[in-house]
A and B are shown apart, each in its own frame.
Chain A
Amino acid sequence: MKILINVTVNQKKYELAVEPNMTLADMIREELKLTGTKKGCGLGECGACTVLLDGKPVSSCLVLAIEADNRDVVTIEGVETEKGLHPIQQAFVEKGAIQCGFCTPGMVLSAKALLDENPHPDEQDIRKAISGNLCRCTGYQKIVEAVQSVSARK
């Protein structure tokens, strides 16, 4: 039996009827058609499905949609500003922090959660903050440099 939930995603309010076993990742991708959230493992190990739940980064494949009831979700589609790319996204583009791009949405959200809480992280803070987001392409260095450059700008 489906359960009715109220959830805010990227500042838009939704009333959704979801199966009790539906994950937040599937709700975002399949119900809301926001495919920027990626699924790499379904086990909470790769971090590609990272979204912000009340400002905290979570693996959305490990959260049930019903757990998001009356809560606030930010996906990669909600990061861009009206003026264009968010400074973190801009830095990822400029610094070469993106290769295949599959980990990028989750990586950007983990970086955002970090910078929202700590605008001047050191390198180790950044590495820790993104350590739940696996990247097989970049070796992480340019991602770390991108996040550092945003914190320097602030």
Chain B
Amino acid sequence: MALYDALYGQEIEYVLFRHEQGAMHAAEGYARVSGRPAVVAVTSGPGATNVVTGLTDAYMDSVPLVAITGQVPTGIFGRDGFQETDILGVVTPITKFVYQVKKPSEATPAFKTAYEISIMGRPGPTLIDLPRDIQLAGATDNEERIVVNREKFLPPPLDEAKIRLAAKYLMEARRPVILVGGGLLWSGATAEVLELSKMLNAPIVSTLPGKAAVPHDYPLYMGPAGMHGRAEADAALANADVILAVGTRFSDRTWGRFKELNESVKSGRVRLIHIDIDKSEIGKNVKPTVGIVGDAKEALRKLIDIIHVESISNTKYISWLLNIRKMYEDAMSRIAESTKTFHPWKVLKVLRNAAPRNTVTVTGVGSHQMWAEIAWDVYEPGTFITSAGLGTMGFGIPAALGAKLADPARPVLCIDGDGSFQMTMNNLALVRDYNLPIVVAIFDNRALQLVKQWQIYLYQRRIIATEFSHRPDFLKIAEAYEIDGVKPESYAELERLVGRALRNNEPLIVDLTIDSESDIVLPWVKPGDWLTSAILPEGMNVKLEYEED
């Protein structure tokens, strides 16, 4: 309370969320749009433990933010006082930096350190724990030095020899592929990766966070690869002879499993070049042929300066990949047309038509998110925000509010599922409280659909604890928060209503009835399978293994 009291009458904007988890995801949305950390201040005990999910989410997806937690007075530490929690002990493995202030002279420098470290190098969340007696003490003239090693977060100079070796491998490649992760976006290296892709005629594949780094109307962008990636992206990665991976941590969700890749790299069949600002990522899951620690933008620029390619004879390979894309789109179009209720794939196409190109799109977590991974087109870098590493249901609504706070002039669309929506819908109060007109499209299948899909395929259809009742009525939820709610009956009506709300900067909640039985997200690389084993939609008969003449 003392901290908030000190803010009274100050020019620091505060935003009151309905739950601490919501504030954390909003800070993530804010950071991803503005590029700057937001500060989340919460009370001790339950307030502090409620930030844990958001901290972990930000840690997994490398998002900068600063959390300030209240704490009991230093004099009663360890005496189990009211709302005492050892929050440092709790958040130790999920923060980039954490500090408990024990003297008033440490308070200001501790906060400055937390803010700086959150954004230096690979971004991440930090936390400052402020005991009550410190909050009540007056500010001091002298600032205690917080002893940390900041220099380690500065990108090291690039290893020239490794860059030259990487360039040589890329110039020798027959089927080069560039894999981009979220690190590319933070580095601001979109222009460089496109330039390099054009030089090498190399397809670009992304991770789920990396999806936001490349404009999808770039012809050589194949989409995200992995568990619910696009078939042409899976095929591109699985059949490459040289892979340039930039700003990615080699997640099992992108690769299915590492056995094939590890064996191919070890045998020399595939040359893997890995560029990352975090040296602990190099070789963590897959040992690369060349590992380069450095900033993505700088490293790609250096490669562009060195690489000179006369011509790459991979036209047939590119055509093969593009044909896989066409086959998928055709198959999904047929499936959507034969589905009586809204089909998620078609809904996303319609929403994309309705949304201006600069719309910031935020998703919840679940089947709707996986459909968005596959079918949502991103046109401007940084305009697709999702919880990738942790997969946090409830991320959508508050992150969309955070995105709107960061850039009120930009349309914000939240693609959510009914399960994910219900976890943080209490934060909808902020739409009117702070004039944050977001549009929320709820893919309403009355199920925890992605888990249900696993039960259908992997557990012989033993459906348990994944189906909801018809409660609540989402239109009444909308009404309770003074937001217009609609339940469209056709794709045309959906496009008209959402387009109007986004253009006019008006809030809207759209309840889309989706038949759970036909909501099976494909392609799907089952957990532990290799990319070429992807289950494809009906009518798409193609092998994802490339055969050279």
Same assembly: no
List residues of A whose CB falls within 8 A of some B CB: none
List residues of B whose CB falls within 8 A of some A CB: none
